[in-house]
Amino acid sequence: MGERKARVREMCLQFHQTEAEIAQEWVAFKSSKPGIQMSFTTLEKFEKEWLPRKKPRPVKQEAKSSTGVGAFSNRIGDEEVDLLTMYTGTPTSDGSKSAGKRQITPEEKNLIRKRLAVSEKNPAMIFSPNSFSPAPKRTVTPSSNKFLSRTSAGEVLVNFGATNGVAWGGAVQECTLAPYRPSQDSTKQYRYMFQKLSEKAQVLDDQIEEMTSFLCEKYHIEEFVNFTLPAQDVVHISGRVACDSIGKLNSQSVVLEGSRQLSQGRQIAVDLSELTEYALFPGQVIAAEGVNITGKKLLLKKVFQGVPLPLPQTITKSEPGINVRVLIAAGPYSAVDDLEYQPLVELLDIIERDTPDVCILMGPFVDSKNTLIENSNTQKTYKDLFNECMDTIADRTSRLNCKVILVPSLRDVHHHPVYPQGPYSLSKTIPQNFYLATDPCTMVINNIVFGLTSTDVLFHIGAEEVALIKTGNTDRLERLVRHMLQQHSYYPLYPPAEDVNADYEHFESVTMPVTPHVLITPSDLRYFIKESHECCCINPGRLAKGQVGGTYARLVLQPPTSTGNTSVVSTIAGQILRI
């Protein structure tokens, strides 16, 4: 029941509906299909077939008329009259004005003050002196009080592995941090917005070719054919899943885009009616069996999903029995309507209490979705806000000798919004215990390989995926992370979401070199710790959710004690807790 409730909450977030509205839609859906019962399968049908037909609830816009072109001109006209009144006299009914400069009454002074007070929201007054005045000094906001008055702090929400008797705290041990492949992870900023269409097309074609070779070897397929040619017999084909129009993918709009070598880069419509199970999303590279009688439409008989990369080669360097304790948190680190950073302060208190060996802090630190930032109602620059956060983190963690890994986010308003994303830049000298990572990155912590990305790829894939699951594992969240591992990519979706500015010339760092031991991908979807293909996949949730506290994760890992392709997932103990 709890998982089904979580699934409904995800629908609310995805379709911008309240729980009551989703319930009403479910009643209507159920009445159209007599005898149907709530299950994961029926919820999938409800999400894919019913909800997309409904228009999302419109977002309320305050004072819409005050920002229109007509209102803008009216405001200017009114202010011109005010200026004439103040400096040249009182206008008459015929448009002329009386001579001489008159005194302004107290009532008119109050009116002028009120107009200046609202000038920040008025385009006509955007360059008034008042718009450049500093905002008043902030005090503790109601949302801060709401966060501080919470009663569920420290509650354990998820357990993974053998957590009984685990020592979550203790003395900090020395840890080694290094990129898995230094040549693959970008270590500095790069020039973007210089992407050529020809180079982007080549990167996308190479992705099809590389995944096709993996699928051919895994499923022992002799050869793939050009799917644009008519074929009466069952043939093997490969390509990238796409949508035949602008909109959400569904079972009737699936097309397959081939590689230049096999299919001249052409697309063909796909018929999924004979498949018993499938899970497809735009950008996914698949292999399949099917027939193409007319040369215009593929009738698929079987779909071969991707195959994950092997686990990394591990060489023991640490002493046996020494565990690695890792704390993981993802932004935002402040409530949605203030910049007090109370959740961050609470997290630093927990770090001082538990003294983990490594802290992985993922952005955003200066969240573009914060209402104060959206309305430009801040006393300091975005860079100053970020630097203050870094100074606080450095001051609280440096004396603990705790390593801090900082991963940027596309929602960081002070940082370059391009994917893959270069590391943060600090105004001061980088503290010795800081490690500035890229987004995404693959790195090694004491011989354990971590895959990190702060981009909400799970939400993006889930919003576009079309699936029919009748048997086996119906865990949707595990299926979403499985897509990442099977496609060997931290962001396999194509085209990307609107808020992801992908630079495909640098997409080499988005490709996974190996299947990591631990994959960390924060998302607005429900928090979890799950195993998939011998990889421990973690969504720690957000440290702050709206005006209240969110969640964070902590792990205790036993480093491998032998050389070879070793899975360490069985040695991991993990928890997700409320802040």
Domains of the chain (ranges plus CATH)? 143-180+312-455+500-578 (3.60.21.60), 197-303 (2.40.50.140)
The C-alpha angle with vertex 541 and arms to 354 and 150, in degrees rounded to 5, equals 70
Residue 423: name the closest of 366, 363, 380 by CA.
363
**Helices 69-88 & 106-117 angle (0-180, nearest 10):** 150
Is the separation of the CB atoms in 565 and 516 below 8 Å? no
| pLDDT, position 333 | 96
With a cut of 50, which residues of the chain have pLDDT below it? 59-101, 118-140, 318
| pLDDT, position 184 | 59
> Following DSSP, what letter does each residue of 37-93 receive, concatenated?
--SHHHHHHIIIIIGGGSPPPPPP-TTGGGGSHHHHHHHHHHHHHHHHHHHH--B-T
Residue 465: Cβ within 10 Å count: 23
Is the separation of the CB atoms in 471 and 420 below 8 Å? no
| Residue 179 identity (one-letter amino acid) | P
Distance between CA atoms of residues 539 and 458, nearest Å: 9
Q: H helices within 98-196, ranges in order? A: 106-117, 142-148
| pLDDT, position 7 | 79
- Here the tokens at position 456 are 């909400």
Beta bridge partners of 328: 360, 553
- Here the tokens at position 172 are 């900090």
Q: Are strands 324-330 and 551-557 parallel, antiparallel or unpaired?
A: antiparallel
Beta bridge partners of 367: 412
For residue 351, the SS3 value is: helix
Residue 404: name the closest of 177, 559, 189 by CA.
177
Residue 72: Cβ within 10 Å count: 14
- Here the tokens at position 413 are 């308003």
pTM of the model: 0.76
Task: Give 257's contacts (C-beta < 8 A, 6+ positions apart).
Answer: 208, 239, 240, 241, 242, 265, 266, 267
Task: Give 4's contacts (C-beta < 8 A, 6+ positions apart).
Answer: 38, 40, 43
Instruction: Tell me which DSSP letter residue 268 carries.
Output: E
Q: H helices within 118-192, ranges in order? A: 142-148
Residue 500: name the closest of 436, 567, 422, 410 by CA.
410
| pLDDT, position 191 | 80
